[in-house]
Amino acid sequence: MLRQLRQLTSSRRSQTADRRLGYVLAFVAGAVNAGGFIAVGQYTSHMTGIISSMADWLALGDFAMALAALAAWVAFITGAATTAILINLAHRRRLRSRFALSLLLEACLLLLFGIAGAHLAQMHDFLAPLTVLLLCFIMGLQNAIITKVSKARIRTTHVTGMSTDLGIEIGKLFYWNRSRVPLPAVRANRDTLALHGALIFCFFAGGLSGALGFKRVGYATTILLAGVLALLAAGPILAEARVRWRLRVRANR
Using one digit for the tens of pLDDT, what is the confidence trace for 88-114? 888 888 777 778 888 999 999 998 888
Report yes or no on 211 lying in a domain: yes
Number of structural domains the chain divides into: 1
pLDDT reported for residue 3: 60
Residue 11 to residue 94: CA distance in whole angstroms? 10
**136 CB-contact burial (10 Å; exposed 0-12 / middle 13-18 / buried 19+):** buried
Please answer whether residues 226 and 108 qualify as being in contact, where contact means their C-beta atoms are separated by less than 8 angstroms.
yes
Report yes or no on 191 lying in a domain: yes
Torsion of CA 17, 35, 137, 106, to 10 degrees: -50
Report yes or no on 112 lying in a domain: yes
Which sign does the torsion angle of CA 121, 37, 23, 15 carry?
negative
Largest CA distance in the chain: 78
Report yes or no on 200 lying in a domain: yes
Q: Which residues contact 148 (CB under 8 A, 6 or more apart)?
A: 83, 84, 87, 99
Please answer whether residues 206 and 29 qualify as being in contact, where contact means their C-beta atoms are separated by less than 8 angstroms.
yes
Does 164 score more than 70 pLDDT?
A: yes
Buried b / exposed e over 59-80, threshold 16 CB at 10 Å, is eeeeeeebebbbbbbebbeebb
Taking alpha carbons only, the member of 209, 82, 205, 224 closest to residue 143 is 82
Q: How many other CB atoms sit within 10 Å of the CB of residue 42?
A: 21
Please answer whether residues 8 and 228 qualify as being in contact, where contact means their C-beta atoms are separated by less than 8 angstroms.
no
**Poorest-confidence range of 64-78, 187-201, 209-223, 226-240?**
226-240
pLDDT reported for residue 30: 93
Report yes or no on 2 lying in a domain: no
Domain that holds residue 26: 15-252
**Higher confidence at residue 3 or residue 202?**
202
Give the tens place of pLDDT for each residue, 22-72: 899 999 999 999 988 888 888 888 888 899 999 999 999 999 999 999 999
pLDDT reported for residue 122: 66
Per-residue pLDDT band for 4 (boundaries 50, 70, 90) equals: low
Residue 232 to residue 165: CA distance in whole angstroms? 28
pLDDT reported for residue 83: 92
pLDDT reported for residue 137: 94
Q: How many other CB atoms sit within 10 Å of the CB of residue 159?
A: 22
Does 242 score more than 80 pLDDT?
A: no
pLDDT reported for residue 150: 82
Chain-centroid distance, C-alpha 40: 19
Report yes or no on 103 lying in a domain: yes
**Higher confidence at residue 196 or residue 180?**
196
Amino acid identity of residue 203, one-letter, is: F
**Higher confidence at residue 156 or residue 251?**
156
Taking alpha carbons only, the member of 90, 84, 87, 74 closest to residue 137 is 74
Report yes or no on 188 lying in a domain: yes
Question: What is the share, in percent, of the chain residues with pLDDT greater than 70?
Answer: 89
Give the tens place of pLDDT for each residue, 125-141: 666 788 889 999 999 99
Please answer whether residues 43 and 37 qualify as being in contact, where contact means their C-beta atoms are separated by less than 8 angstroms.
yes
Helix axes 159-173, 190-216, angle to 10 degrees: 140
Report yes or no on 1 lying in a domain: no
Residue 2 to residue 7: CA distance in whole angstroms? 9
Rounded to two decimals, what is the model's pTM? 0.86
Chain mean pLDDT for the chain? 85
CATH of the domain at 150: 1.20.1250
